[in-house]
Structure formats: structure tokens, C-alpha cells
């Protein structure tokens, strides 16, 4: 489609043609889309010969894939689609396709199984696992260790490869100006000190940590369908939302892939064995999940992954639904978690409070009848 758009620009010279006519769009092999070319573009290339790179004093030829984002230059001689994925596809090949099962640290890092951003680092901020001299804080499970004699880090890819201390050393938190973490600090609307608040909707009337139940600076939008309930017996269960691998974000891409639809075909509601018994719900039953704002139909998934909470001496059950914007089944695909979630914004980012709200779940009175399998027909 883009090539057709560019052809129209070449013919008719439309408005602001430069971005369209100059865009690099060479992602085909023998007339077919080549995902490897896209992955390499994201990793980045050297666009010119580099006689001596300032990072390692080595020479690199034009067209060579970047070893990592450390080799990016600000003079136009390198390119990179996304710096955090640089080093994912190098001259050694597609790092994400690796499947070696070696685990040198014994900590389950498996550094040669696939690839992690950035630069295959498995634990971000891993420098915080050592003391100021580079010695592991947990001697039985050393994630990282400074080898003073060899002048190198041993273990995971270090989050900042400089020595731990000394004239060329650095503190662990490299994204902070002072190199250290903060328990409290300026810049937050509900700061500077950390404080625990309950969600707007919760199963208890009092914050066990303080006299203030909810944040005084959250953004609440009321009216119409925007209703809120706390400690209401009609909505006794805590509901949370989460993603699943088979249905990512809006589902624009993943819900159209047959093998993923087979794995996650429609909305589900996860619950504990205890809650399922309490409500007479079996695994696979159709259920109704309802809040003061709306309701949806889902398939029950009864699992030991969910456990009842004991909060202030009372048993509180939890249910979970995937966060998304619709499925292909049922036909209208409109069973969205957004029908249930409250309209309340985080005081700093305005991110909706969709991870904790009050709901009810009940077994659908009339369960759908099982459909017989269709017989194969000859074409």
C-alpha cells in the first residue's frame, strides 16, 4: 500500500512530498515481505565506512549491522529503528532466535535463549544487587560480581559497565543524576513522601495504614454511568485486569490470527477454587460479571492461581478478566473490560484505575448448548 501511495506522490507531486518520497522502504525479498529485513532495520546499520569507531577503535564497513546502541553516532553515519532493540539482530544473526539452554549463573537467566532488551540484560538495574565495591549482596545467588583483577563484571550484562567505585566508577541507578534510588522525592502530585491509599472502590471502609482511605488528589469523573461503590454487598468481590500473551493490547493484530484465537477465543473470568465453590460455578461455565457501571458475559476459568485474601480479618475473594478492546466471539465481540472499570485517574499520569475495583460474578442461568462438530465435506 505504501508503494502505491509513493507512486501517486511521484506522479502528482502531492503536498509535502519529501517524507513520502525519501522514506526507506526496502523490506521485500523476491516480491514478498521480509520480516528479517525489518528486524535488521530496527537493530540498525552503519551507513558509511567507519575507519576507527570511537567506542572500540575498530573499523566497520558500510552496511554492517550495529553491534549495539553504544555504536550509534550523532553525525548521520549510523541508523537505528529503535535503540532498545539494537543488538537484537547483529552480524552473528538473529539473537531472538537463539535456543541454547546453558545457564552459567544458575539463576535462570539463560543468556543465550532468545534475547532481552537492552543489550540482552536479563535484570534491569542489576548493579543494585551489589555493594559499592561490587560484591554481591546475596552471596548465595550472585547476579553480578566485580572482578577487580580482570577489571570486568561477571554474571548478567551489567547495567552500566563501568567499575563500581573509584575515579571512573558510578553508582547503580544510572538514569538518576545522583546514581541512587529514592524512597521519596519532588515532582509527584501526591508526593513527596510515599503513602498507601486504597483504590476508590475497595472492600474495606478504612485504610489500615492511615486515616485517609483514598488519595486526596485523584481525578474522579462522576455522572451518568460513572458510579462508584465501596463495601456494597451487591458487589462483594475485588476485580482486577491483566493482559494475556495470546491477546495483546487492542487485539487489532492478535485477535485475527487463527492460532491465537484458538488459544484465547473470547472474554474469560478467572476465579479461585473457593469462590467457584461458593458460587456454584464450574470451569467452562458462562458467567455474568457486573459492576455498578455495566456487565459482560464471560467463560469461567477456575484456577488455583487465584487465592482468597484475608483483609482486616475478613475473607475477600478476587476475580480477574483480560484487559482488551473486544473479541471475535461472540459475533459482536463487544465484551470489553472497559464496560466495568471505574473512571478515576491517577494523580500523576491520569492512567485509569482498572487494576482494582468492586464487582460481582454469577453463573449464567441458561448455559449455551454444546454445538455438535460439523462433518467435513468434500470440495
Instruction: Give residue-wise pLDDT tens across range 54-93.
Output: 999 999 999 999 999 999 999 999 999 999 999 999 999 9
Q: Where are the beta strands (DSSP E) in 101-209?
A: 144-147, 152-155
Residues 229/235, Cβ–Cβ less than 8 Å: yes
- Chunked into runs of 10 residues, the chain (379 residues) has average pLDDT values of 88 85 87 92 97 95 96 96 96 97 94 96 92 92 93 92 76 81 80 87 91 89 82 95 82 80 88 98 96 93 96 94 76 79 88 92 81 45
Residues 6+ apart with CB under 8 A from 343: 220, 221, 226, 352
pLDDT value at residue 373:
43
Write the Ramachandran bin of 78: left for phi over 0, alpha for psi from -120 to 50, otherwise beta.
beta
DSSP line for 33-51? E-HHHHHHHHH-EESS-BS
Instruction: Report how far apart the first and last C-alpha atoms of the chain are (Å, whole number).
Output: 33
Residue 316: predicted pLDDT = 96
Q: Residue 105: which of 126, 131, 77 has the closest Cα?
A: 126
Residue 363: what are its φ and ψ, rounded to 5°?
Answer: -75, 135
CA angle, 132 then 85 then 163, to 5°: 20
Among residues 43, 35, 50, the alpha carbon closest in space to that of 80 is found at 43
Q: What is the pLDDT of residues 128-168, one digit of tens each?
A: 899 988 999 999 999 999 998 999 999 999 988 888 875 57
Q: Looking at residue 227, what is its pLDDT? A: 86
* Element of type H or E holding 19: helix 18-22
pLDDT score for 377: 44
What's the rounded Cα separation, in Å, for the pair 165 and 156?
Answer: 19
Give Cα 275 to chain centroid, integer Å.
28
CA pair distance 87, 66, nearest whole angstrom: 7
Instruction: For residue 211, give every residue at least 6 positions away whose Cβ sits within 8 Å of its Cβ, in sequence order, or none.
Output: none
pTM of the model: 0.66
Which is nearest to 172 in space by CA: 136, 199, 148, 201?
A: 136
Classified as helix, coil or strand, 131 is coil
Q: How high is the pLDDT of residue 379? A: 39
- pLDDT computed for residue 369 by the predictor: 62
pLDDT of residue 68: 95
pLDDT at 370: 56
Q: What's the burial of 324, exposed, middle or buried (CB within 10 Å: 0-12/13-18/19+)?
A: buried
- Local structure of 287: helix, strand or coil: strand
For each of the domains in the chain, give its residue range(s) and CATH number, in order of start.
Answer: 2-95 (no CATH), 219-363 (2.40.40.20)
pLDDT of the residue at 378: 45
Q: Is 280 left (phi over 0), alpha (psi -120 to 50) or beta?
A: left
The pLDDT value given to residue 325: 66
Whether the CB-CB separation of 276 and 302 falls below 8 Å is answered with yes
Q: How far apart are CA 33 and CA 121, in angstroms?
A: 30
Amino acid at each position: 500500500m505504501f508503494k502505491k501511495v509513493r507512486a501517486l506522490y511521484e506522479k502528482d507531486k502531492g503536498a509535502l512530498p519529501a517524507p513520502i518520497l525519501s522514506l526507506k522502504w526496502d523490506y521485500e525479498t523476491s516480491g514478498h515481505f521480509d520480516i528479517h529485513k525489518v528486524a535488521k532495520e530496527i537493530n540498525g546499520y552503519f551507513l558509511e565506512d567507519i575507519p576507527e569507531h570511537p567506542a572500540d577503535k575498530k573499523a566497520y564497513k558500510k552496511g554492517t549491522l550495529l553491534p549495539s546502541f553504544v555504536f550509534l553516532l550523532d553525525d548521520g553515519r549510523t541508523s537505528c529503528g529503535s535503540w532498545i532493540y539494537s543488538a537484537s539482530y547483529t552480524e552473528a544473526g538473529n539473537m531472538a532466535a537463539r535456543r541454547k539452554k546453558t545457564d552459567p549463573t544458575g539463576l535462570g537467566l539463560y543468556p543465550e535463549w532468545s534475547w532481552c532488551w537492552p543489550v540482552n540484560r536479563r535484570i534491569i538495574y542489576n548493579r543494585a544487587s551489589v555493594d559499592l565495591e561490587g560484591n554481591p549482596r546475596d552471596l548465595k545467588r550472585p547476579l553480578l560480581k566485580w572482578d577487580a583483577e580482570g577489571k570486568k563484571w561477571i554474571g548478567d550484562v551489567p547495567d552500566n559497565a563501568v567499575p563500581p567505585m573509584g575515579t571512573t566508577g558510578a553508582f547503580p541507578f544510572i538514569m538518576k543524576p545522583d546514581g541512587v534510588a529514592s524512597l521519596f522525592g519532588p515532582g509527584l502530585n501526591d508526593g513527596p513522601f510515599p503513602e498507601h491509599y486504597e483504590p476508590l472502590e475497595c472492600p474495606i471502609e478504612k485504610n489500615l495504614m492511615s486515616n485517609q482511605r483514598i488519595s486526596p488528589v485523584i481525578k474522579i469523573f462522576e455522572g451518568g454511568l460513572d458510579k462508584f461503590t465501596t463495601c456494597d454487598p451487591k458487589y462483594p468481590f475485588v476485580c482486577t485486569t491483566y493482559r494475556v500473551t495470546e491477546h495483546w493490547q487492542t487485539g487489532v493484530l492478535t485477535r485475527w490470527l487463527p492460532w491465537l484465537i484458538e488459544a484465547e477465543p473470547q472474554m474469560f473470568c478467572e476465579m479461585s477454587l473457593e469462590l467457584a465453590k461458593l458460587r456454584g460455578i464450574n470451569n467452562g461455565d458462562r458467567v455474568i460479571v457486573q459492576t455498578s457501571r455495566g456487565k459482560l458475559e464471560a467463560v469461567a476459568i477456575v484456577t488455583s492461581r487465584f487465592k482468597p485474601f484475608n483483609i482486616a480479618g475478613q475473607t475477600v475473594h478476587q476475580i480477574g478478566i483480560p484487559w482488551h478492546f473486544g473479541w471475535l466471539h461472540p459475533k459482536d465481540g463487544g465484551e470489553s473490560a472497559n464496560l466495568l472499570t471505574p473512571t478515576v485517574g491517577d494523580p500523576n499520569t491520569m492512567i485509569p484505575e482498572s487494576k482494582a475495583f468492586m464487582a460481582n460474578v454469577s453463573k449464567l442461568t441458561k448455559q449455551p448448548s454444546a454445538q455438535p462438530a460439523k462433518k467435513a465435506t468434500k470440495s
